[in-house]
Amino acid sequence: MTSGSAIDVRKLTLKYGSLTAVDCIDLQVPYGVIFGLLGANGAGKSSTIKMLATLLKPTSGSARVAGFDIISAPDEVRRHIGYVPQMLSADGALTGYENLLRVVAILNPLTYLVDALRGLMVHDEQSMYGLGLDCGVLLLVLFALLAIAVRLYPKLVQ
């Protein structure tokens, strides 16, 4: 694996019983590149991202994110990434603000990131309920998270 890559994946595989969700993918993403996975429903995009974010363990293969192995150094991987789950995985019983705080607390409990979110959302907090979150506000929040991540982890955007 090349250490100069932000993401370096070799023969990454994920199986759920007899179903192969991700089948031996190889992938390299250099630092400073915005990268997206495209594919049909069920193609393994979400499963791949969840493995790279250390939320799922691969069946086989290997991957490094920001130079850290997803199996042997999951805490280091999580310190160097941001992960925003798709809308359908939000908890509909929580406000949009509470969903964001939950993700932040799970993946990167940095108090100043929580404070930044609180400052961003304070005016709209009461009206932002789960899946009813206004798309424009959601995009604003996602871009704010990206900006915060870029500021905190400039190595990822060299």
Domain boundaries, given as residue ranges, for the chain: 5-79, 87-157
Q: pLDDT category, 36, cuts 50, 70, 90?
A: confident
Contact 2, 28 (CB under 8 A): yes
pTM of the model: 0.59
Which residues lie closer than 8 Å to 112 by C-beta, 6 or more apart? Answer: none
pLDDT the model gives residue 4: 79
Instruction: State residue 70's pLDDT score.
Output: 96
Across residues 106-113, what is the average pLDDT?
52
Q: What's the pLDDT score for residue 155?
A: 59
- State yes or no: pLDDT of 130 exceeds 90: no
What is the Cα–Cα distance from 55 to 74, expressed in whole angstroms? 9
* Fold of the domain spanning 5-79: Rossmann fold (3.40.50)
Check: CB of residue 35 under 8 Å from CB of residue 42: no
